[in-house]
Chains A and B, each alone.
Chain A
Amino acid sequence: MPTFVYMTRCDGCGHCVDICPSDIMHIDKTYRRAYNIEPNMCWECYSCVKACPQHAIDVRGYADFAPLGHSVRVHRDEEKGTIAWRIKFRNGTEKNFLSPITTKPWGTAIPRLAEVPGPSREMRDSQLLYSEPKYIRLDDGDLHTLKSAGLKLKKGVYY
């Protein structure tokens, strides 16, 4: 549902402009604050809402099918590794949800492949990818092949 920006909260930092996948969060030249320039290309993905340090961006359900009087707010906390949601219905009902977003501290768990030993000639000539075969089954098993599975590709309808 399309986003909008509260005038008094936005400080024009541009985080939303930087993150929006649809390129529709822009800075208004007069007010020097962000706004949604093209609501009909908004997927309500909440990327900008989550990225806003001032919680200045909110969402109002699409005018063609969503009545007024609701809210879905979010707080994404990278340090804690959680995301918290608060849903308010038009009739006042409230629901709260909290989920993890990662199990590892950011930036630490993914290796740089430039720093791992490069592949052997034998591995290059095989069908294996990085970390295979170990990571396929996490045991000593090898990659499946047609041969190992006893299969053959046959033309036409026969099954």
Chain B
Amino acid sequence: MAHNTIIEDGIDILVVGAGLGGTGAAWEARFWGQDKKIVIAEKANIDRSGAVAQGLYAINCYMGTRWGENKPEDHVRYARIDLMGMVREDLLFDMARHVDSTVHQFEEWGLPIMKDPKTGRYLREGRWQIMIHGESYKPIVAEAAKKSADKVFNRICVTHLLMDDSKKNRVAGAVGFNVRTGDYHVFKAKTVICGAGGASNIFKPRSVGEGSGRTWYAPWSSASAYGLMIDAGAKMTQMENRIVLARFKDGYGPVGAYFLHLKTYTQNCLGEEYESKWFPDLQKMVGKEYLDPEASHLTHRPIPTCLRNHCIISEVNAGRGPIHMVTMKAFQDPHLEEVGWENFLGMTVGQAVLWAATDVDPKNENPELTTSEPYVMGSHATGSGAWCSGPEDVSPPEYFWGYNRMTTIEGLFGAGDAVGGTPHAFSSGSFTEGRLAAKAACQYIDDGKAEGIVVSDEQVARRRKEIYKPLEHYKTYRNAIVAGDVNPHYINPKQGLDRLQKLMDEYCGGVTVNYMTNEKLLNIGLKKLRIMEEDLESLAAKDIHELLRAWELKHRHRAAECVTQHTLFRKETRWPGYYYRGDAMKVDDENWHVLTVSRRDPETGEYTMEKAPCYHLVSESE
């Protein structure tokens, strides 16, 4: 084959995926490793890659300790309440105590942060959110990363991590291919910081046909963070904790600013408030510890997002849909109207396009809301990801093994979606996690932990063969048929993605089954995923672009398998509104007030599941 092999050797810090987490890592690594070789490998172009490619209109994680607005432990409490208790409080505390220094730097770098004209402070959208003009958020942080990195390799689809052949369970770099030239790229590195993305598109989306790219999370978030780390044998946590978003229908435009800043609210088709009537039954499912409307009313304690979803789902199932967002009042104020529109233009242009196309002017008409298909990720309001070490001065022994944000694979660190148990990090928290990982990675190298790494030629050659197999497979069997895509010898990446989405939807609690699953369904799902894995060996790619889609599919498939294993393991319904275990419809604190941890053995493909203790830091009330 004509593809060159390009080897980048002697790397100290390899950043795989430069979204907010990866750019934070690359930037900070230069300070702690002034003479170290820092290299970025990114699937797209770092100026517009990752979940923030399109921009953001808010920074959702800012403490404001300088004005005494919040303490880090307040944020820990908030994230824990929202996730029904299941978080890594050490990692959350650590992220929250550093995140403000990240945001203050962003402002100095030119990111326009809105100010409250009365107080001069950052303009608050909600308790944790500040409002920004963030169209160029990504180009700004990319500039920071470029100023620190020795080399940036854009358009490299990283397919596998390289492992040390001299010492088991130690990382040695990564391999992938250039999606334009097709060349094989080998990165030999002492440490790897995985900043790759979470998972959109593993569950069947509500949209069909052309619109299936209009997912809530970016369609290029291909679960690579999980695919790469699971395949290497890293332990994962809370992978069952998928998230379902209540958003403006079809366009998935964000609702945060609408609820918090514009003070819009929801109602059913009869114009009634519907949420509170579902609370008594819901309280029986989850217990008063997790849903106490009276206490919430008195203390402004938030109602967990999943429970609010549950009310929408139940109300719609009761025949009183659609749920409307009442915008007509707020939008009479021209300033608030402007905020409402710019909110979309700054981060979900598609929603503005949709309203223009359907003549929905929220000044004159209340738009519809809906609940999305499930997503699996670790940086928004959910905490799927790798089981990582916390910081030395905070973490208890079960959560600490030497280096902050290091996974259970030596030398492999995570940031953003890659790290499990740290929901509500969002953009600023992900960048901060990247910074923490970078400092720890430098320390790991300085401590001599990365000495004597060996990467055999056999490993490099084996991965190369594996990577191009879909191209070879296509070439071998294409001419068995006259034309078209129906071939008994192979499936193409789109056909494979359709199969994955359909089975995850039907067996693992997707939108068409109202987020419902049970042990029987999950076991059937696992069986189908295993058979699908066999068929992925017969995946065919007609060109390099399809080869990219083929590897994205393989990463999505691996993540989906892990999600299903975790969902099967946790025999309770911890997050009604995100998914339901029909055979265990209650929160079961006696058995399941724990974090779920899995490991897939790279040799056998078998999963080992375990319960890890859940440590708490703060009391329930402030």
Contact = CB atoms under 8 A, between A and B. Distances in A.
A73 B439 CA distance: 42
B561 interface: no
A39 B346 CA distance: 21
Interface residues of A, number: 89
Contact of B44 (A20, A124, A156, A157): A20
Contact of B133 (A2, A65, A100): A100
B34 A43 contact: no
Interface residues of B, number: 101
A107 B270 CA distance: 54
A102 B140 contact: yes
A41 B201 CA distance: 10
Contacts of A153: 89-90, 394-396, 615-617
Contacts of A69: 357
A136 interface: yes
A59 B353 contact: yes
Contacts of B358: 66-67, 90
Interface in B214-251: 214-215, 218-220, 250
Given A70-B353, A72-B349, A159 B210 contact: no
B350 interface: yes
A111 B346 CA distance: 26
Interface in A109-159: 109-114, 116, 118-119, 124, 127, 129-133, 135-139, 141, 143-146, 149, 151-159
B179 A19 contact: no
Interface in A33-56: 37-47
Contacts of B211: 40, 62-66
B562 interface: no
Given A112-B147, A136-B97, A144-B97, A159 B207 contact: no
B54 A43 contact: yes
Contact of B210 (A63, A90, A102, A106): A63
B183 interface: no
Contact of A72 (B218, B356, B545): B356
A61 interface: yes
Interface of B is mostly: helix
Contacts of B215: 43
Interface string A73-90: 010100000010101111
B599 to A, nearest CB: 22
Contact of A149 (B72, B349, B614): B72
A68 interface: yes
Nearest to A2: B210
Given A42-B213, A101-B136, A113-B148, A138 B66 contact: yes
B47 interface: yes
Given A97-B345, A129-B435, A151-B617, A71 B48 contact: no
B439 A129 contact: yes
B588 to A, nearest CB: 12
Tell me the interface secondary structure of chain A in the complex.
loop
A99 B135 contact: yes
A89 to B, nearest CB: 5
Contact of B135 (A19, A26, A43, A76): A76
B52 to A, nearest CB: 10
Interface in B348-405: 349-350, 352-359, 361, 391-396
Interface in B313-363: 338, 341-342, 345-346, 349-350, 352-359, 361
A138 B65 CA distance: 10
Nearest to A48: B48
Nearest to B337: A95
A70 B100 CA distance: 41
B28 A130 contact: yes
Contacts of B44: 20-23
Specify which of B71, B213, B395 lies most central, judged by the most chain A CB atoms within 10 Å of its CB: B213
B121 to A, nearest CB: 12
A155 B213 contact: no
A129 B98 contact: yes
Given A99-B346, A146-B393, A45 B85 contact: no
Contact of B614 (A114, A135, A156): A156
Given A64-B209, A64-B211, A155-B613, A110 B144 contact: yes
A91 interface: yes
Interface stretch (B103-111, B291-299, B525-533): B103-111
Interface in B135-161: 135-136, 140, 143-144, 147-148, 155
Nearest to B348: A44
B265 to A, nearest CB: 24
B133 A101 contact: yes
Contacts of A149: 71-73
Contacts of B196: none
Given A21-B220, A95-B341, A97-B338, A68 B357 contact: yes
The residue among A97, A152, A159 with the most chain B CB atoms within 10 A of its own CB is A159
A116 B32 CA distance: 11
A93 interface: yes
A74 B155 CA distance: 26
A112 B133 CA distance: 25
A9 B236 CA distance: 49
A146 B512 CA distance: 45
A30 interface: no
Given A21-B53, A63-B210, A109-B109, A118 B31 contact: yes
A45 B349 contact: yes
Given A22-B219, A154-B615, A159 B353 contact: no
Given A61-B354, A99-B133, A137-B66, A113 B396 contact: no
Contact of B393 (A42, A107, A112, A127): A127
22 contacts: A1-B214, A2-B210, A19-B47, A20-B45, A23-B179, A23-B220, A43-B213, A43-B218, A44-B213, A61-B350, A85-B352, A87-B352, A89-B355, A99-B342, A100-B112, A119-B32, A127-B393, A129-B98, A131-B105, A137-B65, A144-B72, A154-B617
Interface of B: 27-28, 30-32, 34, 43-45, 47-50, 53-54, 65-66, 71-73, 85, 89-90, 93-94, 97-98, 100-101, 104-105, 108-112, 133, 135-136, 140, 143-144, 147-148, 155, 179, 207-215, 218-220, 250, 289, 338, 341-342, 345-346, 349-350, 352-359, 361, 391-396, 432, 435-436, 439, 443, 446, 545, 548-549, 589, 593, 613-620
Complex A-B, nearest 3 residue pairs according to Cβ-Cβ distance, in ascending order:
A104-B110, A62-B211, A135-B101
Given A19-B45, A159-B619, 7 more contacts: A64-B209, A102-B112, A106-B143, A107-B143, A112-B148, A138-B66, A157-B589
